[in-house]
Amino acid sequence: MSQQGVTPQSEDYSKWYTDVVLKSNLADYAPVRGCMIIKPYGYELWENIKAELDKRFKATGHQNAYFPLFIPMSFLQKEAEHVEGFSPELAVVTIGGGEKLEEPLVVRPTSETVIGHTFSQWVQSYRDLPLLINQWANVVRWEMRTRLFLRTTEFLWQEGHTAHETYEEAQEETLRMLEIYEDFAVNEAAIPVIKGRKSNQEKFAGADASYTIEGMMGNKWALQMGTSHNLGQNFARVFDIKYLDKKNEQQYCWTTSWGVSTRMVGAIIMAHGDDKGLRLPPRIAPIQVVLVPIYKNEEEKARVMHVVGRVADSLLAVRIRLHVDDREELTPGFKFNDWEMRGVPLRMEIGPKDVTNETIALARRDIPGKEGKQIVPQEGIIATVMRLLNEIQHGMLRQARTFRDANLHEVEDYEGLKRVADDGWALMWHCGTAECERRVQEETKASSRCFPLDLNKEEKPKDARCAVCGKPAQGKAYFARAY
């Protein structure tokens, strides 16, 4: 066990993950199996994620709304592929107010159906389009195998739903939102992702096409961090979402949906964490800087806390998220370990020598040991902290990208895929069929992650063949073990 009682990643990565979630005060188990309690520190991290995404949604013309938690069972049954895809995961209410309901109600697994029903009433003319709606909500999917943040029975998310005049506009929206997810992942969460199209087997139930951002976690497994779906006219036809076009003719709308959930918290933990616990990117960290006063007696305390108060006020004034750890019953060493566990990007220490020398001791969470420590002047501390937070943010992205790129491998045949699948991602020509994906998963436990958009821009060679079965390939696809 490491110093903080966390199982080392090399010993048991799954246990390491659970240890970190619990010991860093992000979440706890709920009385209901498969559910979680998000603790204040974890919820503040989610709020920061939510704020950054919401800002991007509104900048592209989307408005927030809220739709009911309960959905009539008949709504889900209208779209055959949709109900088939979600049927095993549904939580169904059959009794309300002590009486059997005339129609069972489904606890929201996703909202395409109820929003489709509503859109049919809101949209009358081409003047009502595009309709760009987002919802922040909770959803329930009855999962058999659960893991905190990554896969829980109830989780929090946002789900965007839009309606358009043409296929081209819907496709543009689908890819625009995928790019927003990528922008957030890279620039806020410091996680490099691969944008791609899901295979038919992996796409959202009822969609024409699904797109994803896939991130590589610290154990080299893949995590689907966000998805964007072009629903075509499937839900528009089922729910009669029509508009009167400029020629005064009735047309079906083209719709999309897209979502990111609290799984993003799990991605941040696994993409950046180490054996000491969390490592949080400064831009979304609940606490960016922790200030630890160090003193041995009341005289030293008075001198130190005077400087601590002045430094804290100056940093808080420029909206740096700072916390002063003035817990007197704990040693400085314990505090250092505690804040390392919680992943605070920058630690400041002020003791009697610092007061005399007008200095501050700093320790970066992203660089372990002595290399990450330095003594800086108190004068100009705002500029110093801002510079270091920016360096930490970019440094974490650089580390994650270097790690990912070192574990992406292009393979020419099935033997190559089998060699790579246990310890990285394999890029290969893929036919896209269910048979090949089933065989790969059964024999290697790797699944189809996506056809990466940037590697499938050019027309594929006519002789491109699937590395598994030898049939004509749809394109190049990544396969990897995944959560």
> Can you spell out the DSSP letters for 378-446?
STTHHHHHHHHHHHHHHHHHHHHHHHHHHTEEE-SSHHHHHHHHTSSEEEEEE---HHHHHHHHHHH--
The pLDDT assigned to 1 comes to 36
Taking the domain 408-480, which CATH number applies? Answer: 3.30.110.30
Q: What is the mean pLDDT of residues 152-157?
A: 97
The pLDDT assigned to 4 comes to 60
Starting at the earlier edge strand, list the strands of the sheet with 209-216: 63-64, 131-140, 154-164, 254-261, 222-230, 209-216, 193-197, 447-452, 475-480, 425-430, 408-410
The pLDDT assigned to 88 comes to 83
The pLDDT assigned to 175 comes to 98
pLDDT tens-place string over residues 89-121: 899 999 999 999 999 999 999 999 999 999 999
Tokens, residue 309: 């108060």
The residues pairing with 410 across neighbouring beta strands, listed in sequence order, are 427
The pLDDT assigned to 3 comes to 46
pLDDT at 2 over 70: no
Q: pLDDT-based confidence at 83, cuts 50/70/90?
A: low
Q: pLDDT-based confidence at 353, cuts 50/70/90?
A: very high
Cβ-contact 366, 395 below 8 angstroms: yes
Share of the chain above pLDDT 90, in %: 93
CATH class of residue range 289-387: alpha beta
pLDDT tens-place string over residues 370-416: 999 999 999 999 999 999 999 999 999 999 999 999 999 999 999 99
The pLDDT assigned to 53 comes to 98
Return the sign of the alpha-carbon dihedral for residues 276, 282, 283, 288: positive
81 vs 78, 84, 108, 208, 253, CA distance in Å? 9, 5, 17, 11, 19
In which residue are the tokens 């009167």 written?
244
CATH H-level, domain 13-272: superfamily: Bira Bifunctional Protein; Domain 2 (3.30.930.10)
313 vs 307, 308, 356, CA distance in Å? 10, 8, 20
> Can you spell out the DSSP letters for 77-96?
HTSHHHHHHHGGG--EEEEE
The pLDDT assigned to 80 comes to 67
Tokens, residue 170: 């819907």
- pTM value? 0.95
Residues of the chain with CATH 3.40.50.800: 289-387
Q: Average per-residue pLDDT in the chain?
A: 95
d(CA 240, CA 253): 9
One-letter identity of residue 7:
T
pLDDT at 163 over 60: yes
The pLDDT assigned to 422 comes to 85
The pLDDT assigned to 424 comes to 97
CB atoms near residue 303 (< 10 Å): 16
Q: Which long-range contacts (CB under 8 A, 24 or more apart) does 24-28 make?
A: 24/277, 24/278, 24/341, 24/342, 24/343, 25/342, 26/148, 26/149, 26/265, 26/269, 26/278, 27/148, 27/149
Q: What is the mean pLDDT of residues 329-348?
A: 96
Residues of the chain with CATH 3.30.110.30: 408-480
